[in-house]
């Protein structure tokens, strides 16, 4: 799509932290996005959000915002337990949907969301922004070129301290569905699938070690990738290392070298990408808003009526891996997928 292509008029359901810090600014910057309405039940907070981001309309209910005929697409950024009903409401009104991760409380809910969007004939895309990190797209190119030989081992860590906070929805299993693994490691799972394809087996320890909340704050998993390689994915809300280059990283090891990308969570692709082989070491740096790239890609998807870059099926597949990790954590057994 060229710079003169159609502009997608957006509404946001759940105008909270991530929408405030990242998505609303990206919508203002992206040439093919226009933020025309938000929904938040706290009307004072909603009015403040609208003022700061120049949003013309504010709604207090999901039903009202999805009924707005001027809106073409909805960004769902509510707690996880709301993703299913909010998707069903938006799809019923013919709105295209960009949904925050994780997709839903379960893969079964994800299947309901996918079916509703297919019936409505609308485009549904998961907001797994790691796929649009410029570092990770470069990694995919390096892997395709065989830069480090066949991959045998991968390590991903997405962690950060999350102490007890009263009434925080991410610490409530009814709203979040899980803790650090569902919230943070789901990004790692989708990134692995983007780079290597399906995940075929999982074994894990899942515990709450430092907090009083009932979702996990410590999770370590060993996954088998489709090519047989081993992947260790860890996520902790129980560790206090302030260095994001250590607590948010991806390492890929092949027979001829290693690729390291850090920090994983960086939403503007900043950080470092290192490729080390016997021929030497090269370091790459980028700067590109992942969410800007998501919005522009989704605008092309809608305009050209094509399959989204990250489909509902991708969201469901990531949920099934998370569920397998939780099952292994409960049972102490290896869980096969697919």
> 95, 129, 163 — which closes off a domain?
129
CA 158 – CA 207 distance, rounded (Å): 16
The reply to whether 203 and 325 lie within a common domain is yes
The answer to whether residue 295 is domain-embedded is no
- Which pLDDT value is given to residue 167? 82
The reply to whether 87 and 150 lie within a common domain is no
- Which pLDDT value is given to residue 270? 96
The reply to whether 67 and 207 lie within a common domain is no
Q: What is the pTM of this model?
A: 0.96
The answer to whether residue 118 is domain-embedded is yes
pLDDT tens across the length of the chain (338 residues): 555 679 999 999 999 999 999 999 999 999 999 999 999 999 899 999 999 999 999 999 999 999 999 999 999 999 999 999 999 999 999 999 999 999 999 999 999 999 999 999 999 999 999 999 999 999 999 999 999 999 999 999 999 999 998 889 999 999 999 999 999 999 999 999 999 999 999 999 999 999 999 999 999 999 999 999 999 999 999 999 988 888 999 999 999 999 999 999 899 999 999 999 999 999 999 999 999 999 999 999 999 999 999 999 999 999 999 999 999 999 999 999 97
- Return the CATH number at 105: 3.40.50.720
> 101, 129, 157 — which closes off a domain?
129
CA 62 to each of CA 15, 37, 170: distance values in angstroms, whole numbers, following the listed order:
12, 11, 21
The answer to whether residue 310 is domain-embedded is no
The reply to whether 257 and 273 lie within a common domain is yes
Structure tokens belonging to residue 19 = 């929408």
Which string of b and e fits 144-183 if b means at least 16 CB within 10 Å? Answer: eeebbeebeebbbbbbbebeeeeeeebbbbebbbbbbbbb
The answer to whether residue 206 is domain-embedded is yes
The reply to whether 109 and 206 lie within a common domain is no
The reply to whether 170 and 266 lie within a common domain is yes
Number of structural domains (the chain) is 2
The reply to whether 140 and 268 lie within a common domain is yes
Domain that holds residue 35: 8-129
The answer to whether residue 302 is domain-embedded is no
The answer to whether residue 299 is domain-embedded is no
- Which pLDDT value is given to residue 196? 98
The answer to whether residue 1 is domain-embedded is no
**DSSP per-residue codes, 156-177:** EEE-------TT-GGG-HHHHS
- Return the CATH number at 171: 3.30.360.10
The reply to whether 122 and 215 lie within a common domain is no
- Which pLDDT value is given to residue 1? 55
The reply to whether 262 and 175 lie within a common domain is yes
> 110, 129, 148 — which closes off a domain?
129
The answer to whether residue 264 is domain-embedded is yes
Structure tokens belonging to residue 167 = 């009434």
First to last CA, the chain: 36
The reply to whether 213 and 325 lie within a common domain is yes
The reply to whether 116 and 146 lie within a common domain is no
């Amino acid at each position: 799509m060229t710079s003169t292509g159609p502009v997608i008029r957006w509404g946001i359901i759940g105008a909270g932290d991530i929408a405030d810090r990242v998505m609303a600014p990206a919508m203002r910057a992206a040439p093919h996005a226009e933020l025309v309405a938000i929904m938040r039940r706290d009307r004072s907070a909603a009015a403040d959000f609208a003022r700061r981001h120049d949003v013309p309309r504010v709604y207090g209910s999901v039903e009202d915002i999805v009924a707005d005929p001027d809106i073409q697409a909805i960004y769902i950024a509510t707690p996880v337990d709301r993703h299913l009903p909010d998707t069903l409401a938006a799809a019923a009104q013919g709105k295209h949907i960009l949904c925050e991760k994780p997709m839903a409380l379960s893969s079964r809910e994800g299947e309901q969301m996918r079916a509703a969007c297919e019936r409505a004939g609308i485009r549904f895309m998961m907001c797994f922004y790691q796929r649009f990190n410029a570092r990770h797209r470069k990694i995919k190119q390096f892997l395709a070129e065989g830069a480090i030989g066949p991959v045998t081992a991968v390590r991903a860590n997405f962690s950060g301290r999350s102490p007890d906070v009263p009434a925080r929805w991410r610490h409530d299993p009814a709203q979040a569905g899980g803790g650090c693994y569902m919230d943070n490691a789901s990004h790692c799972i989708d990134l692995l699938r983007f780079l290597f394809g399906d995940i075929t087996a999982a074994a894990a320890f899942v515990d709450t070690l430092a907090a009083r909340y009932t979702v996990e704050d410590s999770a370590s998993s060993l996954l088998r990738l489709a090519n047989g390689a081993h992947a260790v994915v860890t996520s902790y809300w129980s560790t206090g290392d302030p260095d994001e280059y250590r607590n948010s990283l991806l390492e890929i090891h092949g027979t001829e070298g290693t690729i390291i990308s850090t920090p994983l969570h960086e939403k503007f692709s900043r950080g470092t990408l290192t490729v080390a082989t016997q021929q030497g070491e090269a370091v790459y740096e980028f700067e590109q808003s992942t969410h800007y790239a998501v919005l522009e890609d989704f605008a092309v998807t809608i305009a050209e009526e094509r399959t989204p870059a990250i489909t509902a099926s991708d969201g469901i597949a990531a949920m099934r891996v998370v569920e397998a990790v939780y099952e292994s954590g409960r049972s102490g057994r290896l869980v096969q997928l697919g």
